[in-house]
């Protein structure tokens, strides 16, 4: 009986390694989501092939189904990355203030924003989709800036400069997406905003906004990929729950 208990205990006590593949999978999944849905939407004539907004590629079935499903998975993986990064930093002496905690909260909100973008299409529920996109892009940018500061404190110089560059790109492109995009929609005089034509008023401004959105999205993916080297050095053990009855000794329950 004792041997069987010890064997079960050993099996349940798991250590999860190779965490570096998590940001790689997330990066590839996001890029695949954007490219696959764009190819389907452009091929079926649902969007204009010349740099539509990413969300335009996920408005109409069948691409909207793929868009929503893959982004839901991506949001879960991204939340897991945020949590692992938070726990990793808390185990070091590089950051003892609230910056790491606040960055984890903002990163989690960015994941929620991505989930809203996935499930509320722009053409169906515009306001919720717009809120989700704003939380995702601006929240994600703030999270990356905070992670860049934390990287500086951890004295990882090369990684710091890479993340600083990507953070600056994200900051610039977020504003160059929102401001020109708002102006373009305000002066738009075409028939369908899903299919902009060069003759439509505000076309160039729209093009700047759409290209900026693609650039910031790719920059997000590349920033996530920078966690590869740090996640490679850590592992996670299965959690332990401790039940403490008032009249009994502490009992450890392994998952």
What pLDDT, on the 0 to 100 scale, is given for residue 6?
45
What pLDDT, on the 0 to 100 scale, is given for residue 9?
47
**How confident is the prediction along the chain (255 residues), in pLDDT tens digits per residue?**
444 444 444 444 566 677 889 999 999 999 999 999 999 988 888 888 778 888 888 888 888 899 999 999 999 999 999 999 998 888 876 555 788 999 999 999 999 999 999 999 877 788 899 899 999 999 999 999 999 999 998 888 899 999 999 999 999 999 999 998 889 888 887 777 777 787 888 888 989 999 999 999 999 999 999 999 888 888 777 777 777 766 555 455 454
Domain range for residue 141?
18-254
- Does residue 12 fall inside a structural domain? no
- Does residue 42 fall inside a structural domain? yes
Q: What is the pTM of this model?
A: 0.84
- Does residue 1 fall inside a structural domain? no
pLDDT for 126-162, tens place per residue?
889 989 999 999 999 999 999 999 999 888 889 999 9
What pLDDT, on the 0 to 100 scale, is given for residue 12?
47
- Does residue 225 fall inside a structural domain? yes
- Does residue 149 fall inside a structural domain? yes
- Does residue 240 fall inside a structural domain? yes
What pLDDT, on the 0 to 100 scale, is given for residue 246?
64
What radius of gyration do the chain's Cα atoms show? 22
- Does residue 13 fall inside a structural domain? no
The tally of domains found in the chain comes to 1
The Cα 146–Cα 101 span in angstroms is: 10
- Does residue 5 fall inside a structural domain? no
């Amino acid at each position: 009986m004792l041997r069987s208990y010890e064997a079960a205990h050993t099996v349940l006590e798991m250590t999860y390694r190779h965490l570096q593949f998590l940001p790689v999978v997330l990066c590839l999944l996001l890029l695949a989501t954007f490219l696959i849905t764009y190819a389907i939407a452009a091929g079926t004539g649902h969007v204009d092939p010349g740099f539509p907004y990413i969300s335009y590629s996920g408005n109409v079935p069948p691409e909207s189904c793929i868009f929503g499903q893959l982004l839901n998975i991506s949001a879960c993986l991204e939340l897991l990355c945020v949590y692992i990064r938070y726990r990793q930093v808390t185990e070091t002496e590089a950051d003892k203030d609230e910056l790491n905690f606040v960055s984890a909260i903002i990163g989690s909100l960015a994941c929620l924003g991505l989930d809203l973008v996935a499930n509320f299409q722009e053409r169906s529920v515009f306001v919720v989709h717009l809120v989700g996109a704003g939380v995702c892009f601006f929240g994600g940018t703030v999270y990356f800036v905070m992670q860049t500061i934390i990287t500086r404190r951890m004295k990882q110089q090369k990684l710091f400069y890479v993340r600083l560059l990507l953070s600056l790109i994200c900051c610039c492109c977020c504003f160059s997406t929102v401001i020109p995009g708002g102006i373009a929609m305000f002066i738009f005089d075409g028939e369908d905003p899903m299919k902009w034509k060069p003759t439509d008023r505000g076309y160039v401004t729209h093009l700047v906004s759409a290209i900026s959105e693609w650039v910031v999205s790719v920059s997000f993916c590349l920033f996530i990929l920078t966690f590869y080297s740090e996640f490679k050095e850590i592992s996670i053990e299965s959690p332990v729950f401790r039940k403490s009855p008032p009249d009994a000794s502490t009992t450890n329950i392994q998952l």
